[in-house]
Amino acid sequence: MTLAESLSLYAILDYMPQKVTRLSATKISTFEQCAKYYEFQYVHRAKRSFTPIEWEVGSIVHDIIARLFRQIRDKQRGTIPKLGNAEWYRPLLADATSNLRNQVDEGIVRIVRPDERMQSYEEQMDNALGTFTAKALPLLHDHKIVGVEADLGRFNLDGIQIDGRLDLITQSGGNLYVHDWKTGGRRDEDARQAKIYYFASKDKYRQPATTFTLYYLAEAGDIVTSYTFSQEQRALLSAEIADIAARINALETYQARVSVLCHWCPYGPQCDEGNAYMSAHPPPVKKDQIDLGLVT
């Protein structure tokens, strides 16, 4: 076989659907939203044309909160104190905001809605961190930090390795608590993520009394939803994961599922179907309520 033939063969193999051996809550959500997006992201690992600003806003909030807990872990012997400064995050947020503005100016990060402005996203980050400080942090007083942004370990369901990241793990009164921060709205698939992280935490930390909690930092009122699950629910989750993996493995081609979310897709400029949809449908304006299902 000549070198040219070898390279051609590798190119063909690269574009063939690959057997799934690893999944995550994000991968599953991406596949269910659009198989073509899944292909760009996880099969070919294509280069993104841009990052939607909503994704970057979520990443900044998560990073700032993680930095707080790492500092507590390193300097407070891991026990979460009452914070005397309710605006502790403002210097960190100012630096992150300055960097975000530069990324927007350079086109690395994109504001998709034509009538939206940078100030709105700055307010979203400030409000989310203020809500975290006022409503989430007091619930964690005197908890002992077990892990910050920890992986799921060697968590396996029906032969599929499950990947993910636990925002915060704490212990109090002999119980294990797993915490996850959300900067978007509530979604149906949140319950599946809760199951995955709950059982992964049970396997990794081997604590019989475990609670998984989601904190919705963009909401008013009660921001907390907590979960515990039975072994029967673990079996149902395992069957669900096996079915999703089988559906992906059965694909011969990855079909695009066009929708308003094409405007937020970082691979949109590379997708013929997405480009056609966006040409016919302008991006939505601020008043339109869109569930950004591809937010990581």
Q: What percent of the chain has pLDDT over 90?
A: 82
Q: What is the pLDDT at residue 13?
A: 41
Q: What is the pLDDT at residue 2?
A: 54
Q: What is the pLDDT at residue 263?
A: 95
The topology under which CATH files domain 51-246 is: Lambda Exonuclease; Chain A (3.90.320)
Task: For 75-105, write each residue's pLDDT tens digit.
Answer: 878 899 999 899 999 999 999 999 999 999 9
Domain boundaries, the chain: 51-246
Who's near 272: CB < 8 A, 6+ residues apart?
Answer: none
Query: What's the average model confidence in pLDDT over 125-135?
Result: 97
Average pLDDT across the chain, whole number: 91
Q: How far is CA 268 from CA 11, 88, 103, 151, 238, in A?
A: 22, 38, 19, 30, 33
State yes or no: pLDDT of 150 exceeds 60: yes
Query: What's the average model confidence in pLDDT over 238-263?
Result: 95
Query: What's the average model confidence in pLDDT over 13-34?
Result: 82
Query: What's the average model confidence in pLDDT over 93-121?
Result: 96
Q: What is the pLDDT at residue 4?
A: 46
Give CA torsion, residues 158, 161, 162, 164, to 10 deg.
170
